[in-house]
Structure 1
Amino acid sequence: MVTGSLITDDVRRFVLTSIPSVPYLEAMLLLRAEDTGDWDSVMLANRLYLSEKAAALLLAELHDAGILSHDAASPGRYRFAPTSEGLRQIIDQVAAAYSTQLVAMTNLIHSKSGRKAQQFADAFKWRKDS
């Protein structure tokens, strides 16, 4: 749960290890909130103002992560269906944190990509001992 202005360790860990971008998070939370049927890339693209290709990629990534399922007869249509109750619970906690700590949550996601960019840049630094 979220207390005051803090993001819990469980939510922080899940975001840092499992949420690659803000659009990914928003797609996950949208499908969670509107769990009324199947979603496809056109529907998601329209709701999140993304290209259809980007939306299709997000849906596939969420499916691969065990957050969405799809019927074999309709492979391009997905629904919110976490593969475990534990995953469902942490997503609920993430949703609660995002609803009250929007800036902190987005900063957390962006800090992860910032660290990766810095590590990449550091790999090309000229070292005195080289």
Structure 2
Amino acid sequence: MSIRRGLQKANPKMTMTQPTRGDASASPMALGRYPVAPGFKEVGGTSEAAASSISSRSAILRAGVLRTLRQTGNLTADETAGFMGESVLSIRPRFSELLGLGLIAKTGERRPNEGGHNAIVWKLSETGNRA
């Protein structure tokens, strides 16, 4: 099952538009490059603009997440953002990308985040340990 289909199955209200290659307005990030590039939900929407604005830093941030998990051990996205000195809004989506790339995995543990919600604790996958 594709990541896109899995996300839609998990959240049926979410629409993830992917234009065809013949679509002149198609953004390169929408042409199947997720999770290597930031994804977005709607062509021309605010999530596409956000993906475009972070795209130049996304690989650097993903590498930083992997390095932080390697150095500190298992963390939530919020904890990782704190260690990296980055906004959780920039870091949290990188976890989805890294999961899609098979470089991280859920530990099965949860810890409260700053909002008081239970957040997933992540670890490097076997592939992530080798990367």
TM range, smaller chain: 0.3 to 0.5
- Relative to its length, the structure with more helix (as a share) is 1
Bigger CA radius of gyration: 1
Structure with more contact order per residue of length (Cα contacts < 8 Å, sep ≥ 6): 1
**TM-score, normalised via structure 1 length:** 0.43
